[in-house]
Structure 1
Amino acid sequence: MTDRYKEVFQLTMLGKCIGIGSSCEVYEWGGDDKVVKLFHSSTPPEAVQLEYRNCSAAWESGLPAARPFELVTCDGRHGIIFEKIVGETILNRIFEHLYSFRVIDFNEADSDLRKYARVLNDIHKANVSGVATEQMEHLKAIIGRPAAFTNDEITSIHAYMDLLPVKRQLCHGDTNPGNLILRNGMPFMVDWMHASLGNPAADVAEVCVMIEYAVLPPETPAAVIAFFETWRHAAYEIFVDEYGKLSGVTEEEIRAWYVPAAARSIASGALSDEQVAKLVAMIRDDIRSEAKTPNKP
């Protein structure tokens, strides 16, 4: 098959868009059982290949990941063909619960947040070959040099990170609740581009930072915002309680990773100005406080 013929054939396989992310769109692909994740043209092909390798390693190890089939180039864009996972993200379910004013039951054994903690614990305990990215180096590259911080503050953030305990466990690296899909109650974790070997507390801290510092969209009804302010504390307690019971990781160990988790979120460019301001203030407090400086391993 010539390259031109292959490109024309692939365009005929492209169906309707069913999802939009910050770096890609997801389309139906040739039927009901596959999708293609097409990355923006600005995404380096090496990054797409990395996600394909990481997803393959996770799926082949039996982790709850969508099966990747092959790399493709479609309409000049790099992409990956995946098994189609039809379900609902944890993030969407959180908003449904907020708008229905569903009170969180701390003792509910099968709540979404406890499921999420269990999924992360399974990932962190997995023995997976094929993921080689070093967590700390990768995190520093993602964080970059956000305009919200001075050069001295960025240096302090890096110095803070250098003191964090080093481990070599599998980490997902992008634990936004929008990346966990429930299909008939079964979890599937997507978006493995940032998977790495490192300290799993970083994954958990990312979720905790989102819960504690999230700012709802400005169009959110005042009653929902008020309910969310009471909901977020219970959500945090449930998530940390479940992960801690399973892993033995303490709340203190998780909170030590708030600085890089928050800096990574700021660098994404996807947050509101209000949320960025809250995270910047938290980071400045932490890097200035000797009492909160993590101990060397």
Structure 2
Amino acid sequence: MAKLGSCIGTGSSCEVYEWGDEADVAVDKVVKLYHSHASQDEVDREFRNCLAAWENGLPAARPFKQILWEGRHGIVFEKVVGPTLVQRLFERLHAFDLFSDDSSDELIQFARTLHAIHQAGEIGGIVTEQKSHLKEIIARPVGLSDEEIAALHAYIDGLPAKRQVCHGDTNVTNLILSDRGPIMIDWMHAAIGNPAMDAAEFCVTILYAVLPPEMPSEVHAFFNASRQTIYRTFIDEYTRLTGVTEATIEPWHAVAAARQLTSGAVGEEQAAAMAAMIREKLRLTVV
């Protein structure tokens, strides 16, 4: 008999609970229960993407099955234990220690994890086309007009296309630093396309992040002074591994920023800075 346990995580689209299954007690499990606005197609896509990633040896949690629990769609996963990258970064910020050997290694692990995903090429089961999907989800980013969104869609069409598997949501909450190695979660937006978008997502997060106001002013100052070093630690390792240049990734920053604006999880100050950057990219493209 299945049993719903304690809530251990929340996100914009779901809550994650401990999950007991008497039919299989050999593996610790969790269940990701989606909010009511999540469609069956979205849940099906995430299950299919996660299964494809796991079966092909990518750093993903194993999905076991889909369920319906009290009217909510869900996916049962193996339990992955460990802090997320954002939790570890916040710990480092409060300790004023981002660049000891141990802490910088976490940024390098993230670069290596993305490289491991991207070098898989195309894999069966992940079939979403990146550019079409991006244009679909970038419907009305905060602070952009209809004309600017149309221009952004045209900008996406003009970016270089590739045929490699991409995670599609590489924010710092989606990497778990587990004892058995880094694991990427939340594969709903995985697609076949240009991996520069995955790298750009992390770059934009670091370059434009605004820390919560309740954090001490000294932590804000330390982060702002360290921002470029965090960025360089990641980007230098990723470009070294992949042979992709920083100049190849940079045009995708506008797309990554628009995707983050669409999520509604970005504060006003950060949203204004991102919108200004997007407008500048579009202006330069037109010129």
For normalisation by structure 2, the TM-score amounts to: 0.94
Unpaired segments of 5 or more residues in structure 2? 22-26
After the TM superposition, which segments of 4 or more aligned residues of structure 1 sit over 6 Å from their partners? Answer: 107-110
2:24 corresponds to: none
How many residues in Structure 1 have an aligned counterpart in Structure 2? 281
d(CA) in 2 for partners of 1:90, 1:213: 17
Structure 1 residue 237: Cα displacement: 0.5
8 Å CA contact 1:169–1:197 kept in 2: the answer is yes
Match of 1:222 among 207, 217, 242: 217
3-state SS of the aligned residue for 1:182? strand
Matched, 1:66 2:61: yes
Identity of matched residues, %: 54
2:78 corresponds to: 83
8 Å CA contact 1:104–1:231 kept in 2: the answer is no
Match of 2:269 among 264, 274, 293: 274
d(CA) in 2 for partners of 1:233, 1:102: 15
- Cα-Cα RMSD: 1.6
Structure 1 residue 183: Cα displacement: 1.1
Partner amino acid, structure 1, of 2:188 = M
Structure 1 residue 103: Cα displacement: 3.9
Structure 1 residue 146: Cα displacement: 2.5
8 Å CA contact 1:211–1:232 kept in 2: the answer is yes
Structure 1 residue 123: Cα displacement: 0.2
Matched, 1:23 2:13: yes
The 5-angstrom pairing of residues 76-115 of structure 1 reads: 76-104=71-99, 111-115=105-109
Structure 1 residue 108: Cα displacement: 7.0
- Can you list the C-alpha shifts for 1:268-287, whole angstroms capped at 9, x where unaligned? 00010111001001111111
Structure 1 residue 157: Cα displacement: 0.9
Match of 2:236 among 238, 241, 245: 241
d(CA) in 2 for partners of 1:161, 1:64: 28
Partner amino acid, structure 2, of 1:219 = E
d(CA) in 2 for partners of 1:27, 1:109: 29
2:259 corresponds to: 264
Partner amino acid, structure 1, of 2:223 = F
3-state SS of the aligned residue for 2:173? helix
d(CA) in 1 for partners of 2:218, 2:107: 23
d(CA) in 2 for partners of 1:132, 1:34: 27
The verdict on how the C-alpha distance between 1:88 and 1:230 changes in structure 2, with shifts beyond 3 A counting, is same
The 5-angstrom pairing of residues 1-297 of structure 1 reads: 9-10=1-2, 13-30=3-20, 33-104=28-99, 111-127=105-121, 128-184=123-179, 186-290=181-285
d(CA) in 2 for partners of 1:231, 1:147: 28
Q: Identify which range, 69-78 or 126-135, moves more after superposition.
A: 126-135
The verdict on how the C-alpha distance between 1:215 and 1:110 changes in structure 2, with shifts beyond 3 A counting, is closer
